[in-house]
Amino acid sequence: MTDLAKLRKGPPPSPAAASDVLADPRGSAEETKPLQFRLPASVVREFNRLAAVEGDYSHGAKKQLFLRMWENYRRVRQ
């Protein structure tokens, strides 16, 4: 049971200043936008599996794989 004598009286402590939790911690200089399109489920599963393996199962592995593919595409097309 709670010992009411130990509870402090008065206003609650002020909240600590929180940083912007929605900001990109990597400090990307360029604006980002979502890329949304539909693919066959089998392609998505294979892409996710490949991204996970190549990215050592880290957060952002799909994004990194896509960016590597994009850079390779641009290099080949030039």
pTM (predicted TM-score): 0.59
61 dihedral zone (left: phi>0; alpha: psi -120 to 50; beta): alpha
pLDDT in tens, 5-25: 777 777 766 777 666 666 656
pLDDT over 80 (residue 27): no
Average pLDDT value for residue range 51-65: 91
pLDDT of residue 10: 76
pLDDT of 23 reads 63
**pLDDT at residue 32 is higher than 90:** no
User: Angle at Cα 57 formed by Cα 71 and Cα 35, nearest 5°?
Assistant: 45
Q: Are 64 and 51 in contact, with CB atoms under 8 Å apart?
A: yes
**CA 78/CA 66 separation, integer angstroms:** 19
Angle at 37 between CA 32 and CA 39, to 5 degrees: 135
Domain range list for the chain: 42-78
- Which residue did the predictor score with more confidence, 40 or 29? 40
Q: Is the dihedral of CA 23, 68, 34, 30 positive or negative?
A: positive
